[in-house]
Structure 1
Amino acid sequence: MRTDGDVQCSSPEFQVDSDILSCSPVIGAPKKKEVFVDDQRIESHPILQFKKGAILSFTFDGRPMVGREGDTVASALFANGVQVFGRHFKTKRARGFYCAIGNCSSCLMVVNGKPNVRTCTTYLEDGMVVETQEDRGILPRKQQINHVFDESKGASDDV
């Protein structure tokens, strides 16, 4: 466990970033071999009840991870110890799980090749490919053209 005052990073893959008082990925850190999906979860609560859904597998930046049915992508990442979801495209400050209702844009990531997905409101699916979004997350040119001419999409889709 790495510590710096009040900040503790429970995984050797993360180090304390004293500039932002948070945990950041260690560049070149060895990859985890075992994933424990329930490590960061609330197991019991005096009022709320939590159902454990079926285990789903997904990848995050090429690393295999697991989540539970009913998880959002962001909650599954957080349960796996991922706290930094990306960096602000201008300031490079850490972005992560913030509002959990789709308002703040801190959780934007690339999901199954689609950029700018709000992972806090997107439910996890088995086999999903999640990637850290660099810059502003622009679709590749061919996908942009196909998206414009795809008549099956309604006017309100992906606006």
Structure 2
Amino acid sequence: MSQRILEHPVLGKIEEKNSVTFTFNNETYQGLENESIAAALLANGIRTLRHHEESGAPRGIYCNIGHCFECRVTVNGQQGVRACLTPLKEGMVVESGGQLPTTVRDWRNNHA
């Protein structure tokens, strides 16, 4: 495996020996059980996790400790999950946040 984040400031220490399988946007990947979803995606070469609500620009991991919300993805059908704080489990289905709706854009469209 490539270099991994084995000690996370929030999730703690990760055991390198427990490999799990998960999907991201319908592709299958390997990760370490309990590492953050963000770390597993980075280790698999995934940099874009969603797109900016207004501009559509690609977004990835920024702070990696849960402050910025840039790493929001959909996990097992639950939208808006922070990939940097969510431990990876066997069989997780992770999907790009895509370009999520924003109240600013919705307000502009309804009040133009």
TM class, shorter-chain normalised?
A: 0.7 to 0.9
- 1:41 is aligned to 2:12: no
Deviations, residues 91-144 of structure 1 (Å, cap 9, x unaligned)? 11111111111111110000000000001000001000000112326xxxxxxx
1:1-150 matches, within 5 Å, as 38-41=1-4, 51-136=15-100
TM-score for both structures, normalised by structure 1? 0.55
In the alignment, the residues of structure 1 paired with residue 2 and residue 85 of structure 2 have an alpha-carbon distance, to the nearest angstrom, of 21
Aligned residue pairs, count: 96
User: For the residues of structure 1 that align with 2:59 and 2:51, how far apart are their CA atoms?
Assistant: 5
1:16-71 alpha-carbon deviations (Å, 9 max, x no partner): xxxxxxxxxxxxxxxxxxxxxx234379xxxxx97413001000000000100231
Rounded to whole Å, the distance in 2 between the matches of 1:101 and 1:89 is 21
Displaced runs of 4 or more, over 6 A: none
C-alpha contact 1:86 1:94 (8 A) present in aligned 2:
yes
RMSD over equivalenced CA pairs, Å: 2.2
Compute the TM-score of the two structures, normalised by the length of structure 2: 0.76
For residues 106 and 66 of structure 1, do their structure 2 counterparts lie closer, same or farther at Cα, with a shift above 3 Å needed? same
Which protein, 1 or 2, shows the higher relative CO under an 8 Å CA cutoff with sep ≥ 6?
2
Partners in 2 of 1:113 and 1:132 — Cα distance? 11
Q: Equivalent residue of 1:103, what SS?
A: coil
Amino acid at match of 1:41: R
